[in-house]
């Protein structure tokens, strides 16, 4: 029965991935802005206080504007890359083959023939078709975020009614709050590090006067959200793009070294300092999570793998029968939490006065 249930859940995850991915991203964006909305709603301008619904509408508008701007930027860079890629096809094939020239002329020719057998035009058409999908996904995310904000006031009441026990509702609320605080810290730090890294790659390619500097900076920014392997893939792609445009090994090696050092310093030195104790996840568990969600949802699943893993670890750590799973997922065997579980729902508040961010983990 367990195998059948897992198969059914896996089938539904794959078949409904378009909606589920949009819902997962909407929940993450909603949790990121809930605390900010609570802070804004407490501000006073003279004798007037900013209403909660005004702050919510402003947050939805800000999220929608940011998502649409990001989607437009991605689509424009995608069109720029696709429109000029065909002119670099022959150069790219020869550059890739030359990488294996040290193994002999026969190997180089074999690699060249193999690369030329790849139907690049079909892949380009497939990539161009993703533009409409990106825009549809963004619109669906905005709709989900809007309805989540509309329901936020009554979440605490629904949670108490669902649990039928106020103490249990407080415990569930505290667990959700711990998940949200950890995921929020992770995403904020990742966004900062990815932004700095992407801008550094943009400056690096601009200094060498290479094309696709903006596209490579954006690609680095996006791929850095994939832990462990994202930065490696981004560095290799940047190096390959540079080598195709300037077929000089010295230039390619220099760009590889500078990009690699930038990724190492920001990802392995600055990132852990800012992250603190927020994530103590097993490296092997992260790879397994990346492989699983990548197989189920593709590249979007790889972006969501770490938040999902954090949620599973925290939930399992508070279920006695599932605690061994949490221990295996953690790096140090469930160390002391940086965000301890504390009751979030105040007993003196009425349901109408209790916003969702208080019920799901605002400090």
pLDDT in tens, 169-209: 888 888 888 888 888 888 888 889 999 999 999 999 998 88
| Average pLDDT value for residue range 276-297 | 81
Q: Please tell me the least confidently modeled range out of 31-35, 132-136, 273-277.
A: 273-277
Pull the structure tokens for residue 31. 């949790």
Pull the structure tokens for residue 77. 């860079």
Determine which helix (DSSP H) or strand (DSSP E) holds 185, and give its type and residue range. Answer: helix 166-207
CB 329 within 8 A of CB 313: yes
pLDDT reading at 347 higher than 60:
no
List the domain boundaries for the chain: 12-42+49-152, 187-275
Confidence (pTM): 0.75
Query: Residues near 268 by Cβ (< 8 Å), separated by ≥ 6?
Result: none
117: three-class secondary structure by DSSP: coil
CB 309 within 8 A of CB 289: yes
Q: What is the pLDDT of residue 276?
A: 62
| Average pLDDT value for residue range 22-42 | 80
CB 222 within 8 A of CB 231: no
Q: What is the pLDDT of residue 279?
A: 66
* CA dist list (Å): 124 to 189, 304, 346: 33, 26, 55
CA distance 40 to 61: 15
Average pLDDT, whole number, for the chain?
A: 78
Report which of 196, 329, 218, 340 is spatially closest to residue 269, judged by C-alpha positions. 196
CA distance 271 to 266: 6
pLDDT reading at 50 higher than 50:
yes
Query: Residues near 167 by Cβ (< 8 Å), separated by ≥ 6?
Result: none
Q: Please tell me the least confidently modeled range out of 70-84, 182-196, 244-258, 314-328.
A: 70-84
């Amino acid at each position: 029965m367990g195998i059948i249930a897992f198969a059914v859940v896996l089938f539904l995850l794959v078949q409904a991935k378009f909606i589920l991915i949009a819902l997962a991203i909407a929940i993450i964006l909603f949790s990121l802005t809930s605390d900010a909305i609570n802070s804004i709603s407490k501000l006073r301008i003279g004798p007037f206080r900013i209403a909660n619904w005004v702050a919510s509408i402003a947050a939805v508008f800000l999220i929608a504007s940011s998502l649409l701007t990001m989607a437009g930027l991605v689509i424009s860079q995608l069109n720029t890359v696709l429109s000029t890629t065909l002119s670099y096809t022959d150069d790219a094939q020869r550059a890739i083959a030359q990488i294996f020239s040290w193994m002999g002329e026969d190997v180089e020719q074999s690699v060249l023939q193999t690369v030329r057998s790849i139907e690049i035009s079909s892949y380009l058409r497939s990539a161009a078709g993703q533009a409409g999908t990106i825009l549809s996904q963004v619109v669906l995310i905005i709709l989900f975020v809007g309805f989540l904000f509309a329901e936020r006031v009554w979440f605490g009441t629904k949670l108490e009614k669902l649990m039928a026990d106020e103490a249990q509702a407080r415990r569930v609320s505290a667990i959700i709050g711990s998940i949200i605080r950890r995921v929020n810290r992770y995403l904020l730090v990742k966004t900062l590090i990815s932004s700095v890294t992407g801008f550094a790659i943009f400056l690096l390619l601009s200094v060498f006067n290479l094309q696709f500097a903006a596209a490579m900076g954006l690609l680095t920014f996006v791929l850095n959200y994939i832990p462990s392997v994202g930065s490696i893939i981004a560095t290799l792609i940047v190096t390959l793009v540079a080598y195709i445009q300037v077929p000089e090994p010295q230039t390619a090696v220099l760009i590889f070294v500078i990009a690699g050092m930038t990724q190492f310093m920001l990802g392995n030195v600055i990132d852990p300092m800012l992250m603190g104790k927020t994530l103590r996840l097993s490296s092997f568990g992260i790879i397994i999570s990346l492989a699983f969600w990548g197989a189920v949802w593709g590249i979007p699943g790889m972006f969501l793998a770490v938040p999902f893993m954090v949620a599973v670890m925290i939930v399992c750590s508070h279920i006695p029968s599932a605690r061994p799973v949490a221990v295996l997922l953690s790096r140090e065997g469930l160390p002391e939490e940086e965000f301890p579980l504390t009751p979030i729902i105040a007993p003196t508040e009425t349901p109408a006065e209790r916003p969702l961010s208080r019920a799901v983990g605002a400090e």
